[in-house]
Amino acid sequence: MKTPENQTKGKQLLEALLCGLAGGTVFSWIGLPLAWMLGPLTAVILWNLLTKRTLYWPKSFKNGGQMLLGYSMGLSFTADSAAQIAGQLPSMTVSTVLMVVFGLGIAFLASRMTGVNTPSAVMGTTPGGLSQMTMLSEEIRGADPTIVTFMQTIRMLAVTFMVPMLTTFAFAGGAGSGITASAADAEQTVSGGGLMYLLMAVIAVFAGTTLALRLRFPTPWILGPLITAAILTVSGFPAPHLPPLLMVAAQLLLGVYLGLGIRLDMLKDWRKLLPFSLVSGALMVGFALLLAYILHLIHPMSMATAFLCIAPGGLPEMGVTAHEVGADVSMVAAYQLFRVFFILFLVPLFLRFAFGRQDTAGKAVESM
């Protein structure tokens, strides 16, 4: 029996889905990169701003999209690519440290120009994940989670739009979004792979994802399938590739979720922080371009691959872009994963040493 609450959520879900489909269709028709991620993201943000209506998108949809994308990225790993990645660990370390240090420089500049305290500015500009930085800000003394969330959101939004545009039109010969030749080959692999291999791959992916959740991996819904698919591929197992329709669905599921998470009215003085957050995002992308060019000269990789390796975006967004422009997905995933683990394990130690832990007991007493 359907309750009024379930009926309301159903209508909100349908409304969000229609927004996402409309945005993806328009972006795809125009020929913009990452059409089925950026299109739904843009449509949902605009719909929220114009109508102030409440939309609903289950978190399980986002998790499902991440699983599809993680599995697809893991299939790009081979024994040869694993050897190349191992040889580039020094480059991964240096590039990640330089990006973090550059972010710190922007943070101190932001603190001086906007009046935001230094801990909030540092955590708002660090090229880490939005959710990880927001949760960490609750532990760091002096950091304001609301300011950190806003700055990270705007940075993520700027990078999510700028990097695919630059990669597609500047480094990939204007390749647009949509179904690529490699995706078409993937569809044929699915149809010819056999139901037994497909069933075994599905069981392995769910087991790998469950293990990643139990071990509390960062972004387990994408890391679990990615690592599982990589192990299957490197070991010689004929893991089936995903058809193009499922890749479009993965982008749609993630795009709508990201759009619903971006609220420009979450901060009272957002107008003061917005311009600087956009500029800082652009500066991070510009510095990533410089490092990518150096990486391109040192290692035998295309400029598109090098840029997506260094770009301060999220693993899902950079992975989808790498798929679309024909970049080395395994190398991009390796660099992005390295930065995720570096920021999650080492940056918090630095921040706690520099600013100290939040006195949660004292904070609770003050709030009483």
Walk along the chain (368 residues) and give the pLDDT tens digit of each residue: 556 667 788 888 999 999 999 999 999 998 877 788 888 988 998 898 888 888 899 989 989 988 998 898 888 887 777 777 888 899 999 999 999 899 889 888 888 887 888 888 888 888 766 656 766 676 777 778 778 877 877 777 788 788 888 888 877 654 443 333 343 444 444 444 468 888 888 999 999 999 999 988 767 888 899 899 989 888 888 888 888 898 899 989 988 988 887 766 665 666 777 788 888 888 989 999 999 999 999 988 899 999 999 988 777 778 888 888 888 888 988 898 888 778 777 777 777 777 766 554 334 333 32
Angle between helices 79-87 and 329-345 (to 10 degrees): 50
- The C-alpha atoms of residue 126 and residue 101 are separated, in whole angstroms, by 9
- The C-alpha atoms of residue 270 and residue 262 are separated, in whole angstroms, by 13
Residues 239, 201 contacting (CB under 8 angstroms): yes
Place of tokens 């939005």: 130
Residues 206, 64 contacting (CB under 8 angstroms): no
- The C-alpha atoms of residue 251 and residue 254 are separated, in whole angstroms, by 5
Query: Going by C-beta distance under 8 Å and a sequence separation of 6 or more, which residues neighbour residue 75?
Result: 229, 230, 233, 239, 241
Count other Cβ atoms within 10 Å, centred on residue 214: 10
Q: Looking at the whole model, is its pTM more than 0.85?
A: no
The percent helix, strand, coil of the chain (3-state, each to 5) is 80, 0, 20
- The C-alpha atoms of residue 131 and residue 153 are separated, in whole angstroms, by 10
Residues 268, 110 contacting (CB under 8 angstroms): no
How far, in Å, are 94, 193, 249, 299, 348 from residue 342 at the CA level?
11, 37, 30, 22, 10
Residues 122, 109 contacting (CB under 8 angstroms): no
The angle formed by the CA atoms of residues 244, 174 and 240, to the nearest 5 degrees, is: 20
**Domains within the chain, CATH numbers bracketed:** 4-358 (1.20.1530)
Contacts 24+ apart (CB under 8 A), 75-79: 75/229, 75/230, 75/233, 75/239, 75/241, 76/233, 76/328, 76/329, 76/330, 76/333, 77/229, 77/230, 77/233, 77/234, 77/330, 77/333, 78/233, 78/234, 78/330, 79/234
- The C-alpha atoms of residue 356 and residue 269 are separated, in whole angstroms, by 26
Distance of CA 230 to the CA centre of its chain: 19
Residues 331, 302 contacting (CB under 8 angstroms): no
Per-residue model confidence (pLDDT) at position 69: 86
Per-residue model confidence (pLDDT) at position 25: 94
Per-residue model confidence (pLDDT) at position 264: 61
Closest CA to 72 of 196, 214, 210, 249: 249
**What would you report as the CA-atom Rg of the chain, rounded to the nearest whole angstrom?**
21
The angle formed by the CA atoms of residues 173, 176 and 178, to the nearest 5 degrees, is: 145
Closest CA to 182 of 172, 171, 197: 172
